[in-house]
Amino acid sequence: MTHWLILPIVVPAFLAPFIVLAARYHITIQRVLSLFGALALVVVGLGLSVEASDGTVMLYQLSDWAAPFGIVLVGDHLSTLMVTLTAVLALFVLLYVIGSKWDERGRHFHALFQFQLMGIMGAFLTGDLFNLFVFFEVLLIASYGLMIHAGGTPRLRAGVQYVLYNLLGSTLFLFALGAIYAETGTLNMADLAQRVALIDAGATVGIRIAAVLLLMVFAVKAAVVPLHFWLPSSYAEAPGPVAALFAIMTKVGAYAIIRVYTLIFPPELAATADLHTTWLLPAALLSLALGMIGVLAAKQLDRMMAFSVIGSMGMVMISIALFTPEGIAAALYYIVHSTLAAGALFLIADLARAGRENLDLTAQPQVAGAKLTSALFFVAAIAMVGVPPLSGFVGKLLIMDAATQSGLWVWIWAVILGASLLSLVGFGRAGSVVFWKSRSVAPE
């Protein structure tokens, strides 16, 4: 089973070039290869999750080079959960793309899709910081192509903004890696955890700067306020299926924070202890509040979905910032819930676009027979809002329960409840305008 760890990276990496070659022929070949890859990833992800369910930590040393000198892949509860979640989301997005024939708008969608999966899977499985950077770049390069897929000036403009913000993040990442290597002589995460703990209390300036830079990089990836500016336009302008896949992208940043700031820079480490409470928790509360204010104030359905991603990341980061076993467990539950709910909402928004001039929250003619779409929107929206008995409600209860151990639990509860009310009003208004106030017309 240990050798299965390489498959989530190898499968899309090998399929993508063949799909590029198949682009010269019929699109059916691309679809078959891409669908085969997605199904294989689901099977592999489930197998790895079962293997890790008893606490087993799987290690795969590429070319049999021992850590910390070689490249190491790690499979544990956390990484296998994220691999499985990514595979399931990718499969549903791919089924939508094929069923709606959306992939006919460009020749290289499926190849870029596989490269994107390779980068995401690698980021979740790698055991060292340098290869985390490498896989970040792989998934970002693929996402650039996916984002501007099918063209359009607004999409290109948003894509340029997306590229610039992430290039800045990549630059900071390299500076952080250089500082860490200069201080410790290693970038292997397990080795780093031991060496950082041994740094003398009077010589922690360098490692503290590196920890701050890394936190900024991961916060950019997770769209945490005030480093969230790239997300609303990028996700709103991205094609619906692409935005649905992007629902997992912000979770890569959240995953990196969990991995690095519980293993390498844990709260009990004196050099970086105040980073968790002084910066991360207030930023998380702001992310939740501003995200849901954006949901209420948005004038377009797709932009509202984008702000809901920021709000949901705020919920995740609140739970992570507690840095307790209960908080991390609640965060992982909410990551699964919010990823699938956000992905569903972006796909439903793409469905709602049919028969409408745009996704403005104004009454427009709607193609007859949209009852199924409105029902799907209703279920996904109340799941995202957290209305009982759906998964969002359970997730918020878990986070609020974990927050009772914090001295700031009153503020945390107040922000969560207030944001929930804002999101309920925002999604209710959007559903009413788009689905129930639209004038029904017969399809052509």
Query: What does the alpha-carbon distance between residue 372 and residue 383 come to, in Å, rounded to a whole number?
Result: 17
Q: What is the pLDDT along the chain (444 residues), one digit of tens a residue?
A: 678 899 999 999 999 999 988 777 788 888 999 999 999 999 999 999 999 988 888 988 887 776 677 788 999 999 999 999 999 999 999 999 998 888 777 778 899 999 999 999 999 999 899 999 999 999 988 988 888 876 677 778 888 888 888 888 899 999 999 999 988 888 999 889 888 888 876 667 888 888 889 999 999 999 998 888 888 888 888 888 999 999 999 999 999 999 999 999 888 887 777 777 678 899 999 999 999 999 999 888 888 999 999 999 999 999 999 999 999 999 999 999 999 999 999 998 888 876 666 666 666 666 445 778 888 888 999 999 988 888 889 999 999 999 998 888 899 999 999 999 999 999 988 888 877 765 554 444
Helix (H, G, I), strand (E, B) or coil at 367: strand
Strands 439-441 and 365-367, by their bridges, are parallel
Query: Based on the number of CB atoms within 10 Å of its own CB, is 268 exposed (0-12), middle (13-18) or buried (19 or more)?
Result: exposed
Distance from C-alpha of 110 to C-alpha of 116, rounded to nearest angstrom: 10
Has this prediction a pTM greater than 0.75? yes
Rounded-to-integer distance, Cα 236 and Cα 293, Å: 16
- Maximum C-alpha span of the chain: 74
DSSP codes, 68-83 = TTS-EEEESHHHHHHH
* Torsion (CA) 190, 74, 147, 376 in degrees, nearest 10: -120
- Nearest alpha carbon to residue 15 among 106, 93, 113, 100: 113
String of DSSP letters for 248-290: THHHHHHHHHHHHHHHTS-TT-TTTHHHIIIIIHHHHHHHHHH
- Residue 362 has a CB neighbour count (10 Å cut-off) of 14
Residues 6+ apart with CB under 8 A from 354: 367
User: Do 83 and 125 meet the contact criterion of CB atoms below 8 Å apart?
Assistant: yes
Q: Which residues are paired to 366 by β-bridges?
A: 440
Q: Whose CA is closest to 434, among 348, 379, 362, 355? A: 362
Q: What is the DSSP string of 19-60?
A: HHHHTTS-HHHHHHHHHHHHHHHHHHHHHHHHHHTTS--EEE
d(CA 107, CA 202): 57
Q: Are 72 and 61 in contact (CB under 8 A)?
A: yes
